[in-house]
Structure 1
Amino acid sequence: MSLASRIKKFPHAVDQTRGQDVAGSFSGPLARLIAGAAGSSNHLARLAQAEAEWLHSVAEQEPEETLDALCTPPEGDPAKMLRQAKQRVALLTALADLGGIWPTMQVTAALTRFADMALDHTTKHLIAAESARGKLPATPADAGYVVFAMGKMGAGELNYSSDIDLICMFDETQHAPEDYAEVRATLIRVTKKLTQIIGAQTGDGYVFRTDLRLRPDPSTTPVCMAMEPAERYYESLGRTWERSAFIKARPCAGDIAAGEAFLDRLRPFVWRRYLDFAAIRDVRDMMHRIRDHKGLSGPIEAADHDVKLGRGGIREIEFYAQTRQLIAGGRDASLRTRGTLDALSALERAGQIPPGTAETLTAHYTALRDIEHRIQMLDDAQTHTVPRNTDALKRLAALCGCDDTGAFLKALTERLVAVHAICMPPEAEDERPQAQFETDGGTRQITDAWPNLPALRSPRAEALFHRLAPGILKRLSGAADPHAALVHFDSFLRGLPAGVQVFSLFEARPALQDLLVEICATAPALARYLGRHASVLDAVLDREFFAELPELDAMERSLMMALNDADDYEAKLDATRRWQKEVHFRIGVHLLRGIADGHSAEKAYSDLAQCCIAALLPLVIEEQAPRHGAPPGSGAVVLGMGKLGSFEMTASSDLDLIMLYDADAADMSDGPDPLAAPQYYAKLTKRLITALTAPTSEGTLYEVDMRLRPSGKQGPVATSLAAFRRYQSREAWTWEHLALTRARPVAGPPDVQEEAAQAVAQVIALPHDAQKVRADTADMRRRLMEAHRPGSIWKVKQGPGRLLDIDLFLQAGCLLTSACNADIADLVLHDWLNQEEAACIAQTRKLMSTLQAIGRVALDDEFDPNRAGPALIEVLLAQTGFDELDALRTELESRIDTVSALISDRLA
């Protein structure tokens, strides 16, 4: 359909006489559209008169076809031809915009497309001229010269009279080192000519105003830089606003492939997996400085308001999207989009902004962009300010299809206020921290010590905390035990080595303050954990954080993604620790919130440990290989024992491990310094233990205990499968066979894992002396009871009828029945337990494991009502299904007595 036939709406003409004069040679809807545009816009009146003949020639064409022709590189002098084409593009897009033919973002895309062509055509023209002089290779690709479109042009969002922000670079690796100086000088010259051709105002007009000031340190660097020093700048000195700017960066002219490669190398600078949350405050402060400098602060009034930079304007919506992209884009690649509206949609899909926000802000954004375009159409001025002059304001309203300037200003003011309320909510009141908290001497003693804590020593951290403290303390005051919650919050603060990043995060995401207060009210141990590992709060921003806990395969994929971002062995150790701490924290929060029960948490903690071991084993093999070669034989397998083996880990469990390998003693590795299998795997085992236990900049992973290996402390740290079989069948004590009932492979080649699992099953299936197993188990039980007298009924780990007692009993049943493992259901099938006994033990164990899991997360110890506040007791009662603690205590006492009697009877 033609331009004329697709017109849907018409601007109003303030000067109807001029409008009719300009539109006189046209007819139909096109005449009415031109009359309205020319009657209210001086600029469009001039364009329509100057290009009347051309406009007649394209009136019956599709506007997209016309745009295609205008975006075809012209023949001849680009300086003159591009200026004529720019006038026609300006007229075409204005009419398509005002006539409702193209929606807002199609208009911005058309302007951007023409800018791309103009820059690329001029670049090729200039490069060819320098190549003809022998200064450069024959093509832009060979020269490695690239122009990056930044800001609105990079995002495909140019406004009607926009300038274009550019950064020009070249890939120095495409040139011989001895040519560097000449190539650099030549490309600086090319850049200056490019901006002159595109940006200079001549008798034929201009193409686009250009701005090169977004390049690194523009006051001291040339207009065209080599990529290597630019990369070094961003890595060492790059600022938050530059990270934000590169969200929209796009190579638009020259060597596009070199530009894409540069952006890929810059990705870790822009998209940080573990975000500096102070970035949000940096960008917010920058916006405030711009407003203050331009006098844009104060109440929102549409007249004389800057719809781009002013309060509630276009930049606020862009800031809202970009800051949230910076927050979560390092973890979620779907958020790494250049366009503002695409970013809003992606953020809503990812759960990073409330439902409906994208649609609301999209409507506001397009409406404000429409008004911005019409402001610029008045006189082709690079302005975004609503006129105060009565005549200009009337013409602007008319271009927007409104004859009532009062109604126009009222509607615009309401829109600006609505945007501001969403994008820039009020900050916390500046008041003393104690103002909203019931204070006593103890409370004042705590809060008075805060200014001396490491987290609050910098002026910036102190200022941030001063804004946050009233809201946090108000939340703490609502806890069931406010003073205890404050004490635990104090523990969190004291654990922070620095505060700017965390306080910036809390300011950016107030909901995280609620989570912190919830943790301080229920779980002092988790509050201390947060103080030591505050970076785990990043994980809460992930849309999956409160979803069901991941299974092992999902954990493995997630950890692999984290490791892929790390470059070397040390970085991978750090990445594993960061990832583990995030998932560990997530499990604890799920348990406290009742999203996961005790059994699910035990399984998740066990999967988490297995995932780390399985990921680190190949890494330590790879680290050992350059010197000692690949593993001899078929490889090594790690057996998980104890709570890891039985999927019953808690928040504070260590790892009981055995390392087995499938190789003959005479097998040698093939490295420069070859080792026999026993020595090779002993060294590998020590490396793995170090990888798990050594403190790095990100802390440690787990404590490791290998005393369950054959011969205990006296035996080698790694044992061959053959030796393992011999030892277990000929020399092992009953307690070692009991322990083996919980063994399972957790890392290593699948075929070796299968062999190890078969070896364990064969040992368990061996004929055992029933009387000896019962006697040895009873003796072990007696010694455990003597060494660990529980005292309190809440001490559920050790003592008659408690967790270790149940585990020992089930393990004995496994040996006596040759069951596959010490599983209650399996032992029923093997007649070690009847259904009633199995139900009693299972329910008792579930109750006690829930108590233990919650105690370990919240108190870093077993549950103790004297240390647990009201909030934690409420969590425990909800998890166990009791209305009050006394009822839980009575039930626990009864169950423990019943189970203890059952075990004593069966082992007698």
Structure 2
Amino acid sequence: GVPGPSGVRTNRISNHEFYCRVVELFGKLLSSQTEDGIAYRVDLRLRPQGQRGEVALPLKAYRTYYESWGRTWERMALIRARPAAGDIGLGKAFMEAIRPFVWRETVDYSEIEEIRGLKKKIDSTFARDDIKRGYGGIREAEFFVQTFQLLYGRANRHLRTHGTLDAIRVLREMKMAPEEDLVTLRGNYLFLRRLEHYLQMKEDLQTHTLPPSDEETEVIARSMGFPSKSDFLASLRLRRMQTKNMYNSLLGTREDVHAEALNLLEGKLSDEELSGYLSFRKVRHAGKCLINMKNIREHMSAFRTMQERSLIREVMPRLLENALTAESPDRALAGLESLLTTYDIKTAHLTAIMELKELMTGITKIFSLSPYLTRIFLSSHYYLDILIEEWSIVKSLGNMEGELRRTTEGSKDFNSELARYRRFEEVRSGMLFLLGILKTEDLFRGLSHLAEAIIKVILQKFGCNELSVIAFGKLGGREMTFGSDIDIVFVSGSPEAMTLAEKIMKVLTSYTDMGMLYSVDTRLRPDGSKGILVKDIEGYRNYYLKNARNWEIQALLKARPLGGNEKLSRSFINMAKDVILQRGSDIRKDDITAMRARIIKELSHEAEGMDIKLGSGGIKEIEFYVQFLQLHHARRFPEILVQNTLAAISRLAKKQILNPAERDTLFSAYEYYRRLQTFLRLNEEQV
């Protein structure tokens, strides 16, 4: 209060009222207009309760408010807080008081929705051209960074910084986002802040939009270091598109992402701007992709009716965004172009793709990761038509047999129907595998079932009652992948069996308009390619017991009947087991080692690079090791005689022939190699 003449204080006010008046006076001093302008604009609206709240509060009141009513946007605002003047000790106490609120112990991802809602509110208030709060502006860059700070600042103290540039540096060091993107974001943020300075320097007004006149914009362009207004505006548009894309990747809604992709297809972007944006989106050959984009735009106009136009504007941006986020955006864009041009996709297809989200993603995966499947898929509408109707994940052998019988029944071109069914199943299985829906072992089993079903249907067509087909190799182990040969031998004592076997071979290896059905290897028969195609059980028994080489005994481990006469099939498998039990333990470690050394020397491609199949430490080495253990221990543990490599590893471990560490090493290495081999085969690499 104020002491009077009598010494009595009048007009007393509390400490709280006093400091509120101090703050009000402080604000007026800074923001009052003078002949030299103002010192600073002061915004006190970030205090608790905003404009309705007290301008000064005790620490306890701040703590209570933030613990009880604090919102996400206030956490974002307080990230920037730091003691600046006055009682620094009190400022530090304030920072400690708000720390539990800003840097919460638990991560609440629902706060992302609150940030999205806040940005939507800002978008509805400010113009799109506002470089601070509008499209791809300063605020979106800050929101992107602050979201990472809110989510991970509790666990990572270095993220608790009030500076945006410092936070970007920490994000780079911690590799929490792609480094190239963060470098771009930093450059764009500095560019926009610099532009903000030039805009506000002119009249000392808080403006964030470009001047309306061309002359003034030209001045801004030169101030920013550009030779012309057009170059400046092109750079500004590209930078804002880049910033918007990064914001959308973390905080954008589906509508935001769709609008951005549609802008690429229909927006008034120059070739230079579009090419620059495509480069930012990690395409390797921006020039080629620019041509893809132009052709996509052109063919979108072929959809004439209002319904067609509405549909293509809904579906194509989704496909485009999928393509740009694919593993190989260049390939995906080329595939997308073909879908509209040479493939001539129909309205019914687009409607189905829009409804089946996984199918849409799967098509992009095929374009991006597999030239082999892309070529099949784009060769005919048949594959997309059937995929739309049939989106089952796993098919049993019986399902495939039934479908094949119905497909080929009464067909004029039996061979072509088989080839087409095989290619459809490869596209379907490959898509599910690339989507991560189908596991590697399920893919192998499915492709093996496919080959087996085809052989069974061929046997049924020719009425092979006195003939049995035995699988070896990857088909025998149910381990086929894309491009695998099928290894088979024929068993029969019938005079007509040779003719039937030749017919089966002709169907399997004849060329159709879709290529050859399978590459078939019958060299595992007695005497190899020089031997006769069909033998009876005794012929096989005599050969394996008396004349077969070690690798042929080893190959018997994979033998499995596919179809035909069941009695002959059982007899062959029993004979194979007897041979393995009699001769398997005679095969020495040195024999296996010598065989591997010869394969590495004569067949592997190690000189050209790593050969994961035949090279040292590769697929064949694991298989040879497992097969040696099976042969060596089969007499004691006949139950280890299984065709599948992973199943064999598991059984060897159960019998303590392999210890747990060895089992895990072999299992993980073999799974990894076979998965990698599958991706390489899909990419049409011979492995």
How do 1:631-670 and structure 2 match up within 5 A?
Answer: 635-663=466-494
Q: Does 1:861 align with 2:677?
A: no
AA aligned opposite 1:656: D
**Offset at 1:638?**
1.1
1:347-746 paired onto structure 2 within 5 Å? 438-439=274-275, 440-446=286-292, 468=312, 471-472=315-316, 475-480=319-324, 484-490=328-334, 499-500=343-344, 505-506=349-350, 509-510=353-354, 511=356, 512-542=359-389, 545=391, 547-563=392-408, 566-568=409-411, 570-619=412-461, 621-622=462-463, 635-663=466-494, 677=495, 680-746=496-562
Cα distance between partner residues in 1 of 2:533 and 2:451: 20
Per-residue deviation, residues 102-125 of structure 1 (Å, max 9, x unmatched): xxxxxxxxxxxxxxxxxxxxxxxx
1:834 aligns with 2:677: no
Higher RCO (Cα < 8 Å, 6 or more apart): 1
Distance 1:692 1:488 in 2: 33
Q: Distance in 1 between matches of 2:340 and 2:504?
A: 30
CA distance in 1, matches of 2:563, 2:473: 16
Please report how far the alpha carbon of residue 552 of structure 1 lies from its aligned counterpart in structure 2 after TM superposition. 1.8
Deviations 1:574-606 (A, max 9, x none): 333333222222211221111121111111111
CA change 1:603–1:537 in 2 (3 A) is same
Alpha carbons of structure 1 residues 433 and 764: separation in structure 2 relative to 1, 3 Å:
farther
Distance 2:626 2:290 in 1: 53
Task: Map Cα deviations across residues 347-386 of structure 1 (whole Å, 9 max, x no partner).
Answer: xxxxxxxxxxxxxxxxxxxxxxxxxxxxxxxxxxxxxxxx
Q: Is contact 2:366-2:374 (8 Å) kept? A: yes
Q: 1:697 Cα deviation (Å)?
A: 4.2
1:826-864 Cα offsets, whole Å, 9 max, x none, are 33456643343223212221222222233333x13379x
Q: 8 Å contact 2:471–2:486 — kept in the other structure?
A: yes
- Counterparts of 1:82-121 in structure 2, within 5 Å, are none
**Residues 821 and 792 of structure 1, relative CA distance in 2, 3 Å threshold:** farther
CA distance in 2, matches of 1:505, 1:608: 27
Residue 778 (structure 1) aligned with residue 621 (structure 2): no
**Residues in 2 aligned to 1:470 and 1:614: alpha-carbon distance in whole angstroms:** 45
C-alpha distance after superposition, 1:231-269 (max 9, x if no partner) = xxxxxxxxxxxxxxxxxxxxxxxxxxxxxxxxxxxxxxx
Q: Which amino acid aligns with 2:400?
A: M
CA distance, structure 2, for counterparts of residue 779 and residue 477 of structure 1: 53
Q: Which SS does the other structure have where 2:320 is aligned?
A: helix
- 1:472–1:513 contact (8 Å) kept in structure 2: no
Question: SS where residue 548 of structure 2 aligns?
Answer: coil
Inter-partner Cα distance in structure 1 for 2:579 and 2:327:
56
SS of equivalent residue, structure 1 residue 827: helix
CA distance in 1, matches of 2:431, 2:475: 21
Q: Match of 2:362, as an amino acid?
A: L
Q: Which moved more, 1:511-520 or 1:606-615?
A: 511-520
Unaligned runs of 5+ in 1: 1-427, 623-630, 664-676, 864-908
Q: Secondary structure at the match of 1:656?
A: strand
Q: CA deviation at 1:451?
A: 12
For residues 775 and 755 of structure 1, the distance between their equivalents in structure 2, rounded to whole angstroms, comes to 32
Do the aligned residues in 1 keep the contact of 2:292 with 2:337 (CA within 8 Å)? Answer: no
The whole-number CA distance in structure 2 between the counterparts of 1:432 and 1:451 is: 6
Aligned to 1:847: 672
Query: Does residue 656 of structure 2 align to residue 811 of structure 1?
Result: no
What secondary structure does 2:511 align onto? coil
Distance in 1 between the 2:610 and 2:310 partners?
A: 41
Structure 1 Cα separation of the partners of residues 341 and 319 of structure 2 = 24
Residue of structure 2 in register with 1:764 after alignment: 580
Query: What is the alpha-carbon distance in structure 1 between the residues aligned to residue 440 and residue 263 of structure 2?
Result: 42
TM-score under structure 2 normalisation? Answer: 0.51
Q: Deviations over 1:601-650 (max 9, x none)?
A: 1111111111111111221x25xxxxxxxx6xx61111111111111111
Aligned-pair identity in percent equals 22
Q: Give, in whole Å, the separation in 2 of the partners of 1:447 and 1:480.
A: 11
Q: Specify whether residues 434 and 805 from structure 1 end up closer, same or farther in structure 2 by C-alpha distance, changes over 3 A only.
A: farther
Query: By how many angstroms is 1:540 displaced?
Result: 2.1
Decide whether aligned partners of structure 1 residues 508 and 813 sit closer, same or farther in structure 2, where only a CA change above 3 A counts.
Answer: closer
Q: Which amino acid aligns with 1:475?
A: L
Contact 2:311/2:350 (8 A) holds in 1: no
Could you report, residue by residue, the CA deviation over 1:120-177 in whole angstroms, capped at 9, with x for unpaired residues? Answer: xxxxxxxxxxxxxxxxxxxxxxxxxxxxxxxxxxxxxxxxxxxxxxxxxxxxxxxxxx
2:376 alignment partner AA? Y
User: How has the CA–CA distance of structure 1 residues 768 and 499 changed in structure 2, closer, same or farther, with 3 Å as cutoff?
Assistant: closer
C-alpha distance in 2, partners of 1:637/1:733?
23
Judge conservation of contact 1:476–1:486 (CA < 8 Å) in 2: no
Find the residue that maps to 1:741 and give its secondary structure.
helix
| Residue-pair matches, total | 398
Alpha-carbon shift at residue 733 of structure 1 (Å): 0.6
Is contact 2:323-2:332 (8 Å) kept? Answer: no
Could you list the runs of 5+ residues in structure 2 that have no partner in the other structure? 1-260, 276-285
The CA distance in 1 between the partners of 2:380 and 2:598, in whole Å, is 39
Distance 1:806 1:464, change over 3 A: farther
Asked if the contact 1:655/1:705 (under 8 Å) is kept, the reply is: yes
Letter paired with 1:860? E
Once structures 1 and 2 are overlaid, which stretch shifts more, 806-815 or 551-560?
551-560
Distance (Å, rounded) in 1 between the aligned partners of 2:611 and 2:381: 30
Is the contact made by 1:657 and 1:706 (CA closer than 8 Å) also made in structure 2?
yes
Change (3 A) 1:785 1:699: closer
Which residue in the other structure is 1:801 paired with?
Answer: 617
Tell me which amino acid in the other structure corresponds to 1:443.
C
Is the Cα contact below 8 Å between 2:328 and 2:369 reproduced in 1?
no
Q: In structure 2, the residue corresponding to 1:658 is in which secondary structure?
A: strand
TM norm structure 1: 0.39
RMSD between superposed Cα atoms in Å: 3.9
1:754 matched to 2:598:
no
- Do the aligned partners of 2:319 and 2:336 also contact (CA within 8 Å) in 1? no
**Conservation of the 8 A alpha-carbon contact between 1:764 and 1:814:** no
Give the whole-Å Cα distance in 2 for the aligned partners of 1:497 and 1:765. Answer: 61
Instruction: Give secondary structure in 1 for the equivalent of 2:512.
Output: coil
SS of residue paired to 1:499: coil
CA drift of 1:785 comes to 2.0
Q: Is the 8 A contact 1:745 1:753 kept in 2?
A: yes
Deviations 1:74-98 (A, max 9, x none): xxxxxxxxxxxxxxxxxxxxxxxxx
Contact 1:693 1:702 in 2 (8 A): yes
CA distance in 1, matches of 2:649, 2:507: 35
Aligned-residue offset at 1:793: 8.7
Kept after mapping to 2: 8 A contact 1:429/1:467: no
Q: 1:700, 1:469 → 2: CA distance?
A: 40
Query: What's 2:138 paired with?
Result: none
Query: Which residue identity does 1:505 align to in structure 2?
Result: H
Q: Write the letter of the residue equivalent to 1:490.
A: A
Residue number in structure 2 paired with 1:350: none
Structure 2 residue matching 1:843: 3-state secondary structure = helix
Q: How far apart are 1:657 and its partner, in Å? A: 1.3
